[in-house]
Structure 1
């Protein structure tokens, strides 16, 4: 063991002595200032401006970097009418997946909070779950007609975030609302078909069955898990 320590120390000492005998080498500084750009025409300045505008828009969308070489290749191919390496469909899919990844990273906290809430909530007595991930609690069980997926219904409801913050209520407005089940969020479409007229259910809706990655207005952030109390007053039919 002592021999091993000695053999390890010898190179270290040699390096230290050598470092003392040599003059320190000044570190080179890398300039971050962009090289001057010369514009020979209005088209030149406009072309540069287009690049600035595109970059600003992409940055506002959450992107921090791109493969600039492939960016220019795709730009030139499309602009000059050449055959592109991606079809329009695959290009749109790539862009959509990229922004989805960026968005999920930005709202990772809300996504995790919603998942944890639903995982805990499904253990609550009386709460039932469907295959889609929708959870519900029967508050009052009615005995009337159940609506179909395209039926018009008359309902009273209240909506809150999992924090308890209310964002909408027909009760507060003092008037129920008529809506069609194929024109609402998927969680409502699925959940209300479980209800008989006269029922009141409490729904716990994961973001995938609510407003998804876009949210809704200033009160419902993207990827929000929502809670609705819904009272089915009447099935109007198709």
Structure 2
């Protein structure tokens, strides 16, 4: 009888533990150390009540202890919760979305996270001064070279040839640094073809201008009052002016401008619409001979064909028609 009672009590305790009631406020009746009882009348009331409860093991009442009281002789059993309790790992999802923002700073794997690229640093400009003659010579040579290149670029624009300044500067820098990206043969071939192209385009442009010049000369010569000098210049006095004939000893204030048939200005004062003072004897031949044909307040137009300057050197001989407009603003007699 004693052994049966102990088995029932042990079974009841096991079911209570599985249902969450193993940590009840008074767990003493589960495990007892009282001496064996020989008759039902001598059994404790708690034991008799436990034996009298027929369906207690079948429908255990759910019980969740807020603060389980540990048993002195046994380690506290793990609590099996009836409702799932949120685990910390379930809240870790938002943290994953924040990781990519930090990967560029703290990469976790070189295989999955590309290394951050460093921004190219601006080239350091050389620091120099112009305190010595050697430095001045070097700088002046650079300026002269740049101006020559600028002049060539402008001339090529008239032939509809474009040239990149940046690439030209790269070629100069690569040459100085011994990092030329073309072979000598390729450079020679490229420049030879370029020279031929310039020659062809130049000839075509000059032929076009020559035809325009001839047409202008023919039309100008037909105008009333146009005369021709011994040197072959054509001129037209638009306003003779007043006063005496100018002499070499006179000082005159003149306004003048030389341009091509297409309107390109090739000669004149540095300041636009400004006048210039000359001593008649020291004027260029074309201007000197022209002002002597008019007086103070007079205006003359002079057309200079290329054949009219045969005595000029090859470097100074114009190959196009130049049209001068000259005005005598004032005349100061010599004292």
Q: Normalised by the size of structure 1, how large is the TM-score?
A: 0.43
The structure with more radius of gyration: 2
Higher relative contact order (CA 8 A, sep 6+): 1
Which structure is higher in strand share?
A: 1
TM-score normalised to the size of structure 2? Answer: 0.32
